[in-house]
Chain A
């Protein structure tokens, strides 16, 4: 691969006749080599991840669900993310009896791939196994969730740029203004709508959090300390609204409106309601 990059560089160098051109070609060659190295390194990394993924899948297939969950977890700890990886991690956690961890993985996968039907099915199935009051998203939130925050942002950006492209065309070619009138109006309306959706999604993402109980029989207390009175008990997998945080404690509310404080180590905090 390096030889081919050198040939390209030599051929380009022979075509140049001035020192300036040679310098610019040298810079270009350098950039291409660096880009090539990055692509090559990326390929190697992807190959390693795929190998680990296959190994974890084999463990799952052999019924070693805990080992598979650990293997998927190790991959996730390296910063590797993919909807399939998180989906499989959720499956392995569920099969290991960890409803909370499974829901956490599914919800993280949902943020990357919100319209994955299999993912939604498994998330719904696991949620159905969870006992006790839990916070569920409203129909409106569910509808907004059909697109991820980034997808809403990209859609809004595309419409925003389209709208301004039309407005610029009106300035440059006043003659076509009548033809673009209806298209421009539609673009403006869609831009405003998508911007509102982005705002709502961003507000949900940044200002709200959900705590998924990962401990079996977690007991919420009336205050953020061990000696506080018991408020209520939750089961593994319960999804709770996060109201406040204080040190290693998080204040939560369950689906019935009861509030209490839980140690952070007993929950996984996810962005969004």
Chain B
């Protein structure tokens, strides 16, 4: 299915090409109009019938005209079996001046065929300001008016002219406002800016106009009669549609209005630029025109000869700040001065109002300097036509001689340099590298170092605890006996096991009896020699002991007694007696004494 469709499309275009190639090819150049006003634009069209060049043709250069390629447009028609196609390359033609212009004929080469067009004539007329009658009649949709603040100005005096754009009350919108000409020979123009807050409506003749004011900052740079304007501009305004037909309900939603390009021009304005008067011109006048005030500070004021002092001068006011410079101060002969730095802070959009700050470093050259001499600044005020000189009061200074400050004591130089003479140079380099040091944080910031400081503290605490325990033992005989008996029992157990292993029953039971006396004596807090089997039943302390313990004790006492008369026992039996004794002693030690 797709293959079939593609085949049909290809055949169709092939047929078209055949038909087209059979038609006569042509190339024509045309202008949409042959007369325009300066500020308007015409459209140049290069049309190719039945042929298609690879690229848009290059246009010949015409002095006073600017061409801007817009893009191509193509058409294809199929009428009564006759097919035709064409491609048109469009250019905007913008004149730079008024006059007669000729766009010469062009020759183009398309697929080896040469085509040529005829030359075109374009007349560009000057835009003129509308007459007063036309303005008053209300026939002008929009017009421009330039208002100069003064007719006489001084050279260097900054002024702000006003360019008023008048828009009739039926103009729904406007845009693409372009100032096409702003002749101001003899002036240094600034950046034109709209004065948003000053829009207003006025009655002109029998129509109401909205004024959109534009500020034109200007500074006269030449003396003599000067002319401002005519300023020309173009804009696109949107007017109500001529055709008011249709449903009013839909018209309110789809009413686009009609766009119309308007060319605007002002009448020229003559201004006389006056030179600055030579009379009473101050000597230190450097060209500052305006109205200014001055403040100045200096610091530090207590210095040594050669020390820097920063002088800060602020000049504020209205005027052309480009001409405001800090004049050379002749009274500063005793100071070494350095070029000042400047900084301008403007408070209006034209740069005519603000503060210019100068910072200059100066250094006193001798200790006889006692003040910073008065600082002067002169300017010409165009409002009163007079020169003015501002003077800042002198700043008291304390300047010490260079040798007045004590030299640092240099221990190493005492032997190498004469007494009371400062060293003339640094001491020489060291030949020996010395000990290399690893780059590390200070000891007090190292955790290991800080942790190590706990060692003596912990050692002291251990010694302190040991001392306390030792003292405690020394003051408690009962505890001391308890520990001594525990030690005796531990060693006695070894003896018992030894006697059992060597099968020495006499020594075994003698040792056993002695150990039992010692342990019971300690528990009952009485002499060991006083311990017999009878204490088991008599002493109250042992009444709290388990019955099995007491029975074991009795049995052990009886075994000791029987050993004096009984025949010799074996090692195994002695070992079992020792184990029983060990168990009984353990139980006995748990009895509360």
Contact = CB atoms under 8 A, between A and B. Distances in A.
B325 interface: no
B341 interface: yes
Contacts of A24: none
Interface in B417-446: 422-423, 425-439, 442-445
B301 to A, nearest CB: 10
A128 B444 CA distance: 33
Interface string A233-251: 1010000000000000000
Contacts of A172: 463, 466-467
A126 B434 contact: no
Given A83-B437, A164-B460, 4 more contacts: A120-B412, A149-B442, A153-B442, A172-B467
B444 A87 contact: no
Interface residues of B, number: 50
A172 B425 CA distance: 61
A66 interface: no
Given A127-B408, A128-B407, A128-B408, A85 B442 contact: no
Contacts of B439: 79, 81
Contacts of A153: 442-444, 449
B402 to A, nearest CB: 10
B310 A232 contact: yes
Interface of B: 299-300, 306-308, 310, 341, 343, 357, 359, 361, 407-413, 422-423, 425-439, 442-445, 449, 452-453, 456-457, 459-460, 463-464, 466-467
Contact of B412 (A84, A117, A171): A117
Contact of A171 (B357, B457, B464): B464
A70 interface: no
Contacts of B307: 131-132
Contact of B306 (A46, A80, A131, A161): A131
Contact of B429 (A91, A121, A149): A91
A87 B573 CA distance: 90
B72 to A, nearest CB: 50
A233 B359 CA distance: 10
B435 A82 contact: yes
A73 to B, nearest CB: 14
A43 B434 CA distance: 14
A246 B180 CA distance: 50
A84 B432 contact: yes
B430 A84 contact: yes
A126 B426 contact: yes
Nearest to B410: A121
A226 to B, nearest CB: 12
A57 interface: yes
Contacts of A235: 308
Given A118-B412, A157-B453, A82 B423 contact: no
Interface of A: 46, 49-50, 53, 57, 60, 79-85, 87-88, 91-92, 94-95, 112, 117-118, 120-122, 124-128, 131-133, 149-150, 153-154, 157, 160-161, 163-165, 167-168, 171-172, 174, 198, 202, 205-206, 219, 229-230, 232-233, 235, 256, 258
A79 B438 CA distance: 7
B433 A84 contact: yes
A122 B457 CA distance: 44
B443 A161 contact: no
Contacts of B299: 232, 258
Given A122-B426, A164-B459, A198-B444, A230 B434 contact: no
A165 to B, nearest CB: 7
Contacts of A126: 426
Contacts of B449: 153, 157
A82 B433 contact: yes
B357 to A, nearest CB: 8
Contacts of A258: 299
Given A160-B456, A172-B463, A87 B430 contact: yes
Nearest to A80: B436
B408 A233 contact: no
10 contacts: A53-B433, A84-B434, A121-B426, A124-B408, A128-B408, A131-B308, A163-B456, A164-B460, A172-B463, A233-B361
* 7 residue pairs, one from A and one from B, having the closest CB atoms: A164-B456, A124-B408, A171-B463, A117-B412, A121-B410, A121-B412, A84-B430
Nearest to A53: B433
A95 B453 CA distance: 45
B426 A168 contact: no
B444 A82 contact: no
Contacts of A230: 341, 343, 359
Contacts of B425: 125
A202 B444 CA distance: 8
Nearest to B455: A161
Given A60-B429, A121-B423, A124-B410, A164 B457 contact: yes
B436 A82 contact: yes
A13 B388 CA distance: 105
B589 to A, nearest CB: 31
A133 B432 CA distance: 36
Given A117-B412, A121-B412, A150-B443, A161 B456 contact: yes
A84 B431 CA distance: 8
Contacts of A205: 442
Name the residue in B299, B341, B343, B430 with the highest tally of chain A Cβ atoms < 10 Å from its Cβ.
Answer: B430
Contacts of B434: 82-85
Nearest to B446: A153
Given A117-B411, A121-B413, A121-B423, A171 B467 contact: yes
A141 B192 CA distance: 63
Contacts of B445: 206
A171 B466 contact: yes
B196 to A, nearest CB: 26
Contacts of A154: 443
A125 B456 contact: no
B60 to A, nearest CB: 51
A159 B508 CA distance: 60
A84 B428 CA distance: 11
A196 to B, nearest CB: 13
A81 B437 contact: yes
Nearest to A46: B436
Given A121-B412, A124-B410, A233-B310, A88 B429 contact: yes
A128 B425 CA distance: 11
A253 to B, nearest CB: 14
A167 B429 contact: no
B588 to A, nearest CB: 36
B459 A168 contact: yes
Contacts of A46: 436
Nearest to B459: A168
Contacts of B467: 171-172, 174
Contacts of B459: 164, 168
A230 B360 CA distance: 11
A135 to B, nearest CB: 14
Contact of A132 (B308, B407, B427, B438): B308
Contacts of A133: 300
A255 to B, nearest CB: 9
Nearest to A112: B437
Contacts of B413: 121
A88 B410 contact: no
A168 B466 CA distance: 11
B443 A122 contact: no
Given A126-B426, A157-B453, A174-B467, A256 B300 contact: yes
A117 B416 CA distance: 12
